[in-house]
Structure 1
Amino acid sequence: MERREFLKMSAAMSAAAAVTGCSSESAQTTPPVTVPVEEKLNWSACLVNCGSNCPVKVYSRDGIITRIETDYAVEDDYGNHQVRACLRGRSLRKRVYAPDRLKYPMKRVGPRGSGQFERISWDEALNTVASELGRLRGQYGPECTHFTYHSGAYYSFAGFNCLARLMNITGGALGAYGDYSWAQLYQAANYTYGDANHGWLGSSNAEMRKSDLVLLIGHNPAEMRMSGSGESYDYLNIIQDKQKQRAQDGTQFKTIIIDPRYTDSALGKEDQWIPVRPGTDAALMEALAFELITNNWIDQSFLNSHCLGFDEHTLPAGQDYDATYKSYILDNTQPGSLTAGSNAKTPEWASAICGVPADDIRQLAKDLADATTPFVHIAASLNRQAAGENNIRACYMLPILLGQVGLPGTNNGAMCSGASLPIATMPTRGDLNTVDKSISFFTFTQAIEDGENMTVLRDGVKLPADQLDANGDGKLGVNIKAIVNYAGNALINQHADTKKTEALLKDESKCEFIVVIDNWMTPSAEFADILLPDINWLETKDDLINQSYAAGDTATLVQMSSSLEPMFECRDAYDIALGIAEIWGVAGQFTEGKTKQQWRDELYAVAKNATPELPSKEEMKTQGIFRKYLPNGSYVVLEDFRKDPVANPLKTPSGKIEIYSDRLATLGSKWELKEGDVISALPKYVPTWDGYESLDTPEEREKAAKYPLQMHGYHTKGRAHSSYHNVPWLREAVEDAVWMNPIDAQERGLSSGDTVQVFNDRGTIELPVKVTPRIMPGVTALGQGAWFKGAGKNIDKGGCLNTLTSQRPTPISKGNGQHTIRVQINKA
């Protein structure tokens, strides 16, 4: 920080202290007469990728933040409750004034990843970016340019859309499909329900009130969705109300949580915790299916009328009975018979794999069958496994077999739909994008290394039909030569196998130019050639944002304004993109002749038209937040389809729920798969690389013996992915330590607080251990998102989980199996 900025901040802090009666002077010294400066209040929001975008009240004096508060404008009565930011949002002042805040444009002066930069002017920075991007795009085509995954700033106006707009105006860039959160889930939903929405977004949280059994498979809203308008608050209120009702009148209700860890979503709020080994959920689901089928607890009528591929009554065209789900589960090829074969998916078979006692599996099946309205919620964490697509499809089978789909109080297994109020965002002009090629988000490092040889059938490349051969195959034909990394830390920190990525990015002959636009010196920023300092959320005048994608049953709109000017030489993404557009001669196309304020006014008007009761912009600057509980009522997923599957068919080829997918059968026969990868027409448990059941190869058996512990990644309260890691308050409140069961710790002579090394063939991290019975034996767990501190070193002492994870993509989505990890742990 420059001296003048520091003095300005110090003066403001002194004024604030004087107003509250505090002074650094001794008691004998007469304090100077100070004229109090009135605090200004501006509403803003936390725009991090937790799914909620909570409002915050920013108090400032003389352009310096003095304190952060959150919403407490109404009585906290559920349904019209306060939308309170969690501990992360309340720490925003520390984040804005973090010591590693990027202040000026900089260029790299040392090797990539060394963190060596020197300050340059904006003119030099923008001219360098325009020149290098122009040179590479001219030489290799616009498809050589790629945006890495980004989710650190969900602006409606002056954010990523401005950069995408610039690229599209000038030819576009290489696209990406999927994301680190739900790539495999999207595909599981697509092949089961016909589109991603019906498997990604399920019934409203409010439908739990009508349920008599809530089953959370890996779902952990207490740590994932902490916002006052979010799923955690919905879940807590609903569960507590149901438990009170049960205590008062004996109403039947039960909450069951399946998870390797005893999470904060349990902690006495659950009736049963069932620990399961990571990546083996599909085996557990198949054993539950065995119990449901053999005890005739299935809804045969629903399966006959709404589903394809369960038994002889729902055979896919051209298939025999042995292709059905019932035949597979029972290992019996005789239609109508319930006799179990030697390879039947019995509770005893599953118990040996997933670690759940067979009797517990039988009891869970009976509980599900006895429930009149079971509500099944599958977490996205299950899809981030080596066979994530099959994990999710296998879990979908519970409500499908029970026929508990499309009815009040039920869910089809998907994550709950959140209430939403629409807003408009900066148009990206995707219609001008000339690049019609895309890759999986997770394969960008492969595309740097060997993109020109990546294919459709082996690597999941998407190409236009006229670029495919007679077999439906084709090559990407270009390597990624330039990367724009905006408000994201997936360039290295959130991507898998950080040491492998580090080595790749250091080779400047491969990716020749990297520009990073961010607020802080993140691990990804250290690999930039040019660093551009973005403004932060509390300095923006973005006007209006909504509650994002996972806010729960309360829809909100938040007015974002600021009395803070951008610190140092920071600029927002609109001004950065406009500066490059001017150099490239396309400023007129970029602005369309509008000022920034005209753009913002136009976007606000669209939102006002969609929600007429939304106050005016001037009113919202004072009110700050507009909220509506269940604005469209409670939602039951697939309700219309359940009522009339003929009139309301799904988007699957058959129009029904496809237990058997002919499309997947075709992919499995055509695609080039690595050894151990399986694409099956039916949802099936399969052993995987680095899984509890290793693949039957010498290499995998050796790896399993060398690294006997399964590592499970999870989201902590102190971060949203890697965002907020640079706030010391949060690192103190939520310790980064690897969880270990006392049995495993005793074998290694470890106690809580010991420094340990967690390692496998990909790398080593060093951090404390937390010994706790809240995790099952044989499994360890670590909060993901800690910042990588291993560049150029043998040991990452930052504790970044991705030092240990694999870049091997999953079979169907080519997504990230980053929760499939084997490790060993020793005392450091």
Structure 2
Amino acid sequence: MSDIMPSLSRRTFMKTTGALGALAAVGGSVAATNTLFGAGVPQAHAAAEETVTWGHCAINCPGRCSLKFHVQDDEVVWVDTYTSKDAGFDDPQPRACLRGRSYRRWLASPDRINYPMKRVGKRGEGKYEQISWDEAIDLAATKLKEVIDKYGNEAVYVPYATGVSATTSRPFNRFLNLVGGYLNFYNSYSTAQISCITPYMYGSKGNGGSSFKTAEDAKLVLIFGSSPTETRQGGLTTHYDWVHLRERTGAKIYMIDYRMNDSISGHSEQWLPINPGTDAALVAGIAHYLIKNDLVDLDFLHTYCQGYDEETMPEAYKGKNLSYYSYIMGEGYDKVEKTPEWAAKITGIPAERIEELAEEIGTTKPLYVNQGWGPQRRSNGEWTAWAIMALPCLVGQIGLPGTNNGTREDRTSPASVSMDAGKNPVKTSIPCFLFTDAIDHGTEMTAKNAGVKNADALKVNIKYMINYAGNCLTNQHSDINKAHDVLADESKCEFILGIDTVMCDSLKYSDVILPDLFRFEQTSQISTGSDTGYMITGTACTSPKFERKTAYEMATLMAEKFGVADEFTEGKTEEERIKEQYEKAREKSPKLPTWDEAVEMGVYIEEHAPVVSMKKFRDDPVANKLDTPSGKIEIFSEKLLEFTEGWELEADDTLPGLDTMPPIPVYLPEWYGVENTTDEYPLALSGFHYRGRIHSSWGFMPELKEVNPQEAWINPVDAEPRGIEQGDTVRVKNEFGEIELLAKVTPRVVPGTVAVSQGAWHDADMAGDRVDKGGSINTLTTQRPSPLSKGNPQHTNICEVVKA
């Protein structure tokens, strides 16, 4: 991409010939200046009047960055963010991160998709030709009718996608509901395991965490596998709250992670290194020490909990040594006592250090226990999350000031309402992670072997997909090579409609592509926040360029082909619908400004009181019972046993002595983990979120790639015998594939483990050696789901690393 060419307006572009004209099908205007943010203004626009509009990021990041677009001659010349000048005071300020501030580069990228296109090569090759909107919609609608007539609506699917989150982010779902529906999905790629297991323990009413502001009252803070300054660095959410907490609290803080992440850089005393996937073993070792040294809170466990010991077990399961106490003390199914020495061999943390930590946990109050979503995104993630939640229960540190229930921190935002998608006539639902199975052999998927819900089995394979703003067909899915083979076979999924702003890897499998607009190129609104909540109301920064349309407009065109346009729009434009939704939000929260006031201010901020998780339950467990079967916190779940009865499981989804999944928070060894490395693949491999991207969003931008290079973190202990030095190009490989990237030799990752940031754009010759030069970790991950939630186990891998 040129850094010196001026931005091209639509009318200027149409006058341009030669090489610039060749960019028309997939490329937009290019950067205005040679700076990342475009603070300079090209001479051609110097005299033009500047206008400023508010907008927001709408990627799957809770920061929802506030953006101010400075526009001249209908072109964005630079992007600013919320400042103290806007606020009228210094703090707080929901400012954009580096990614948000660089949006002008994406907005004006020569890789922008400008026109509808249809595929002219093989699926996955990325070869397309420009077509008209009429032809594109006709192709998509005609094929949709054919699939519905031949296979039924269950053959239609809208895959999980995270490229857009806002008030009207899913209009295609509304359209499909009007023509008979589509196959549903449940779960997310981010939180399947913890979202599944938490209701078994806390029910649906008690599963929210305490805010970080609450943790300011704690004396000891334990954070398992979380890095707020990396995963939530934009806007004014928990990265801000985390830094605020660390500066204000007098508590001792421990970050338990296999990597010294950026949230504890400069605070090495806070890092407690642990082998990845072994958090539940650490909790078990701590629990043993607490029990042996009479540091558990028996009054709390006997009053508020089920399943800790025989006294609190359900009647039908008493006398069978199935309690958590029995498991810890070696009386359970495996007859292994979970001593700190036992835990040390698995976690890599010395037994003495486990005992010291347990002593602190048992004697320091208030205790705030928190976990990120990394520890649960594993093959044993349901039990890992459960074990971490059990830890504060053991010492009664739930529902009190300065405590948390072991889940992620609370986030509170202003009231908002999204477009009504209507009711889906199709009730059948699959785990979102198993969509490639549903394409390849969907009719073999059942409730017992694949978690199909609201049906005993799928009736038909997926034959038609609408992939809106998603890179989860390949890049963010697992085992990209296998996903490619499934998607490239046109006899399986017969048609894929893709909608996006640039040609990501997943979009290359589309049969027809439609050019999308960013949320800040149209009227849009979004709410987010944490201890401080805020709402951003944005208007279009420029007029629509080329032939790009909003998704609402696209879905309306599809609805017209099916004769349901009137039902789809209800006579309303998208902007009218957004305003209508906003008025419904104001009915819920009258303190919200009027629509015109919201547009004028751009960013509306409201302060929230600290949230103490499960306070009402702690105050009165009878009047405020949880909606678990027992009404209590369930450390043993009879419901889980009943729900999974008869499930078809792999041998390593259970434990010796059990023929079902464990009904208590045990340590379950991973399929591909530190205890299951091999001579061929002797290293564990785990992913993490990266500052330069949100998942794969921004993953194509050369400026951000330059300052955030794709690297494999490897400890010097592992690098030296392999002859690997800092900055070397290396290949990481396993049975699923091979990637090429730079080596980061650092003691900030535990020995025996390689860390690769997720979201890098896949870049491989799929007709050749398939070596991924982009360094996407999902070239190396498995499509086998975690056993209970059928979720994404992206961090469960083993590998080898060699110099390229």
TM-score by length of 2: 0.93
Aligned partner letter, 2:128 = F
For 1:208 and 1:333, the matched residues in 2 are separated by: 35
2:46 is the alignment partner of 1:55: no
1:546: which partner in 2?
527
> 1:180-219: CA deviations, max 9, x gaps?
0110101110111122x633x3011110111111111011
Equivalent residue, structure 2, for 1:699: none
What's 1:468 paired with? Answer: none
Q: Which moved more, 1:683-692 or 1:405-414?
A: 683-692
5 Å-filtered alignment, 1:197-346, equals: 198-199=206-207, 201-242=208-249, 246=250, 253-269=251-267, 271-321=269-319, 322-332=321-331, 343-346=336-339
How far has the Cα of 1:3 moved from its partner? 8.3
CA distance in 2, matches of 1:367, 1:6: 69
Q: 5 Å matches for 1:461-472?
A: 461-464=452-455
Q: How does 1:8-407 map to 2 (within 5 A)?
A: 36-74=47-85, 80-157=91-168, 159-160=169-170, 162-195=171-204, 198-199=206-207, 201-242=208-249, 246=250, 253-269=251-267, 271-321=269-319, 322-332=321-331, 343-407=336-400
Describe the shift of the 1:77–1:345 C-alpha distance in structure 2 as closer, same or farther (beyond 3 A): farther
Does 1:492 find its partner at 2:492?
Answer: no
Q: Out of 578, 602, 614, which is 2:580 matched to?
A: 602
Q: Which amino acid aligns with 1:137?
A: I
* 8 Å CA contact retained: 2:78, 2:104: yes
Q: Which residue of 1 aligns with 2:3?
A: none
Shift of 1:270: 6.0
The corresponding residue for 1:700 is none
Aligned mates of 2:714, 2:11 — CA distance in 1 = 47
> Is the Cα–Cα contact under 8 Å of residues 66 and 235 in structure 2 kept in the other structure?
no
- Other-structure match for 1:475: 457
Q: 1:452 to 1:575 in 2, by over 3 A?
A: same
2:488 is matched by which residue type in structure 1? K
From 687, 705, 720, give the equivalent of 1:746: 720
Query: What amino acid sits opposite 1:571 in the alignment?
Result: K
What are the superposed Cα offsets for residues 428-477 of structure 1, whole Å, 9 maximum, x if unpaired?
A: 012xx21110100011111111111211111111125xxxxxxxxx2212
Q: 1:755-808: per-residue Cα shift (whole Å, max 9, x none)? A: 001000110000110001111100110110011112333201011110000000
Q: Given the two structures, how large is their TM-score scaled by the length of structure 1?
A: 0.90
Distance 2:86 2:75 in 1: 30
Per-residue deviation at 1:312?
Answer: 2.3
Taking the TM superposition and a 5 Å limit, the aligned residue runs for 1:805-820 are 805-820=781-796
Q: Which amino acid aligns with 2:162?
A: S
Q: Deviations over 1:795-822 (max 9, x none)?
A: 0101111000000011110111110000
Equivalent in the alignment of 2:615: 639
Q: Aligned equivalents of 1:705 and 1:779: distance in 2? A: 14
Q: Residue 621 in 1 paired to residue 599 in 2?
A: yes
Alpha-carbon offset, residue 362 of structure 1: 0.5
Please say if residues 59 and 68 of structure 1, whose CA atoms lie closer than 8 Å, have aligned partners that are also in contact. yes
Report the alpha carbon displacement of residue 77 of structure 1 after superposing the two structures with TM. 10
1:516 to 480, 489, 498: 498
**Alpha-carbon distance in 2 for matches of 1:450, 1:131:** 25
CA deviation map 1:654-685 (0-9, x unaligned):
11111111122234542110121121111111
Counterpart CA distance in 1 for 2:89 and 2:384 is: 35
Amino acid at match of 1:54: C
Offset, 1:567: 1.8
Identify the residue that residue 768 of structure 1 maps to in structure 2: 742
Q: Count how many residue pairs are aligned between Structure 1 and Structure 2.
A: 773
CA distance in 2, matches of 1:787, 1:10: 22
* 2:379–2:670 Cα contact (<8 Å) kept: yes
1:149-180 Cα offsets, whole Å, 9 max, x none, are 111111202x31x1110000111100001010
1:42 is matched by which residue type in structure 2? T
Helix, strand or coil for the counterpart of 1:417?
Answer: coil
Contact 1:174/1:435 (CA < 8 Å) preserved in 2? yes
Alignment root-mean-square deviation, CA: 2.3
Note the residue ranges of structure 2 that are not aligned, 5 or more in a row. 1-7, 17-27, 655-660
Asked whether the 8 Å contact 1:204–1:418 carries over to 2, the reply is yes
Alignment partners' CA distance in 2, 1:352 and 1:261: 19
CA contact (8 A) 1:91 1:727 kept: no
Cα deviations by residue, 1:479-514 (Å, 9 ceiling, x for unpaired) = 000111001100111000000000111110010000
Q: Could you tell me which amino acid in structure 1 is paired with residue 611 of structure 2?
A: Y
- Taking structure 1 as reference, are residues 198 and 10 closer, same or farther at Cα in structure 2, changes over 3 Å only? closer
Give the superposition deviation at 1:752.
Answer: 0.7
Matched, 1:577 2:555: yes
Measure the CA separation in 2 of the matches of 1:174 and 1:44.
33
Amino acid at match of 1:482: Y
Taking the aligned partners of 2:767 and 2:393, their CA distance within structure 1 comes to: 51
Residue identity in the other structure for 2:198: A
Instruction: Pick which of 611-620 and 306-315 moved more.
Output: 611-620
Conservation of the 8 A alpha-carbon contact between 2:446 and 2:458: yes
> Quick one: structure 1 residues 572 and 75, their matched pair in 2 at CA, closer, same or farther if it must change by over 3 Å?
closer
Q: Tell me what 1:735 maps to.
A: 709
* Paired residues for 1:390-469 under 5 Å: 390-430=383-423, 433-464=424-455
Q: Which shows bigger deviation, 789-798 or 517-526? A: 789-798
Selected match of 1:525 from 502, 507, 513: 507
Match of 1:793 among 768, 776, 784: 768
Counterpart of 1:86, as a letter, is C
Structure 2 residue 699 is the aligned partner of structure 1 residue 725: yes
User: How far is 1:230 from its partner?
Assistant: 1.1
Amino acid across the alignment from 1:410: T
Q: Residue 37 of structure 1: CA displacement?
A: 1.4
Specify the code of the residue in structure 2 equivalent to 1:438: S
* Unmatched 5+ stretches in structure 1: 25-31, 247-252, 335-340, 465-473, 695-702
* Partners of 2:42 and 2:71 in 1: CA distance: 19
Contact 2:32 2:42 in 1 (8 A): no
Q: Quick one: percent identity of the two aligned structures?
A: 40
Alpha-carbon shift at residue 71 of structure 1 (Å): 0.4
The answer to which of 500-509 and 609-618 deviates more is 609-618
Whole-angstrom distance in 1 between the partners of 2:618 and 2:253? 25
Measure how far apart 1:78 and its partner are.
Answer: 9.6
SS for the counterpart of 2:356 is: helix
Is 2:76–2:541's contact at 8 Å kept on the other side of the alignment?
no
Q: Give the CA deviation at 1:5.
A: 2.2
Q: Which amino acid aligns with 1:215?
A: L
Give the SS at the match of 2:255.
strand
Once the two structures are superposed, residues 591-644 of structure 1 have per-residue CA deviations (whole angstroms, 9 ceiling, x without a partner) of 1122333212212222333333333333333321100121xx211111111111
Conserved? CA contact 1:303–1:401, under 8 Å = yes
Any idea what SS the aligned residue of 2:375 has?
helix
SS in 2 for 1:705: coil
* Contact 1:156–1:426, Cα closer than 8 Å, also in 2: yes
> What is the rounded CA distance, in whole Å, between the counterparts of 1:625 and 1:390 in structure 2?
40
The 3-state SS of whatever aligns with 2:409 is: strand
1:695-721 CA distances to partner (integer Å, 9 max, x unpaired)? xxxxxxxx6221011111000000000
